[in-house]
Amino acid sequence: MDQSGVTTDGHSVPPVSTILTRSAGLDVDAPEIVITVPTYKRPDQLLRTLQSLIAQKTSRSYAIIVMENENEAREGAAAAAHLFESGAVAGLIIAAHRRGNCEAYNAGWQMALETFPHFRHLLVIDDDETADPRWLARMCGTAETLELDIVGGPQNPIFEKDEYESWAQHPVFRPPYTETGPVPALYSTGNLLLTRPVLERFSPNFLDLRFNFMGGGDSDFLTRARKAGYEFGWCAEAIVHETIPSRRLQADWIRTRSLRNGVISTLVDHERRKGHSFARVQVLMKSLALLAASPLRGLKAGLAARSLSVGLYPVLVGAGRVLGEFGYMNDQYRQAEKN
């Protein structure tokens, strides 16, 4: 049951993942939906996520895969084990042995393909999020009604202190769309639906490991999926609630995240234009143009929001885009527990 491989010279390699817990009486042929939940050192939050998934109001059969990405204490796997062993949750807890955001997603998505032969949709939620009771039904309904391959939904920020609610409209936290329907692009796996054919197309290396500790592997993956011709959409009613710790409102975290978003934008732009004539020059010129325009854009946005942080965001993203052209990388997720 391990996800292992063999090198070109015939030698075995260590498994990518191992099943730690399998739910009682699991019928692998039954689920039409698989939900994947990566976790790292958040046992209490993981339990809240799983309880929100147990409470889904749907007649659809679904299984859950938890990807434990901490290989020592494995607190999340230990905390959730009783839910699977008792049959309260149908699915698996796996150890994703290789550290990093992209490694965890890759391990879980591949395990879904190999374990559940008949699922149609795979849903993604993070271990610092909880899902509305009709989240699953609304995501799947939108995909089927609009005949979409990939659907995103809002991550509603929940701040630790009420006085931080004004931050909900900061570009770092604000969702990209407000209405349900087809959209030109998606950027995050924090609340996402993928149809099985999309996963089969990109298996087994779904997310590029260049982004493993920086983040942005989801944006890159979704860009490649768009280039492959898949149809995207948004379901505004399929809400997940994301816990935002106070440290994410500190100036250095906002600055680092803004720069990182710029770097990711550059890398994704290079992927989008790959194979085009003068692609690198075109991306560099775009980055320089955005940086040059960013002070005016930032001034307008800052005045409208009455926020210096909002005003600085376009400038920092523009700077990040240019830094990305020269190889700057920021591994903000290398210490995920401090992110």
Looking at per-residue pLDDT, the higher value among 79 and 245 belongs to 79
How does pLDDT run across 113-137, given as a tens digit for each residue? 999 999 999 999 999 999 999 999 9
pLDDT band for position 5 (cuts 50, 70, 90): low
Give pLDDT, residue 78: 97
Q: What percent of the chain has a predicted confidence (pLDDT) above 90? A: 55
Average pLDDT, the chain: 89
Does the structure show a pLDDT above 70 at 339? Answer: no
Residue 97: closest CA among 81, 85, 111: 111
Q: How confident is the model at residue 1 (pLDDT cuts 50, 70, 90)?
A: very low
Q: State the burial class of residue 18 (Cβ atoms within 10 Å of its Cβ: 0-12, 13-18, 19+).
A: middle
* pLDDT in the model for residue 267: 79
Per residue in 256-314, pLDDT (tens digit) is 888 888 888 887 787 777 777 777 888 788 888 888 998 898 888 888 888 888 888 88
Given a cut of 70, whether residue 2 has pLDDT beyond it is no
Residue 161 confidence (pLDDT): 72
- The domains of the chain, with CATH numbers, are 3-247 (3.90.550.10), 252-338 (no CATH)
Q: What is the pTM of this model?
A: 0.88
pLDDT bin (cut points 50, 70, 90) of residue 11 is low
Quick one: average pLDDT of 244-264? 86
Q: What is the pLDDT of residue 336?
A: 60
Question: What is the mean predicted confidence (pLDDT) over 319-325?
Answer: 84
pLDDT above 50 (res 79): yes
- At residue 120, the pLDDT reads 97
In this prediction, what percent of the chain has a pLDDT beyond 70? 92
Asked whether the predicted pLDDT for residue 3 surpasses 60, the reply is no
pLDDT-derived band at 235, boundaries 50, 70, 90? very high
Q: HEC string of the chain?
A: CCEEEECCCCCEEEEEEEEEEECCCCCCCCCCEEEEEEECCCHHHHHHHHHHHHCCCCCCCEEEEEEECCCCCCHHHHHHHHHHHCCCCCEEEEEECCCCHHHHHHHHHHHHHHHCCCCCEEEEECCCEEECCCHHHHHHHHHHHCCCCEEECCEEEEECCHHHHHHHHCCCCCCCCCCCEECCCCCCCCEEEEEHHHHHHHCCCCCCHHHCCCCCHHHHHHHHHHHCCCCEEECCCCCEEEEECHHHHCHHHHHHHHHHHHHHHHHHHHHHCCCCCCHHHHHHHHHHHHHHHHHHHHHHHHHHHCCHHHHHHHHHHHHHHHHHHCCCCCCCCCCHHHC
More confident position, 211 or 164: 211
pLDDT of 278: 75
Q: Which pLDDT tens digit goes with each residue over 41-61? A: 999 999 999 999 999 999 999
Least confident of 67-71, 127-131, 245-249, 279-283: 279-283
Beta bridge partners of 92: 22, 65
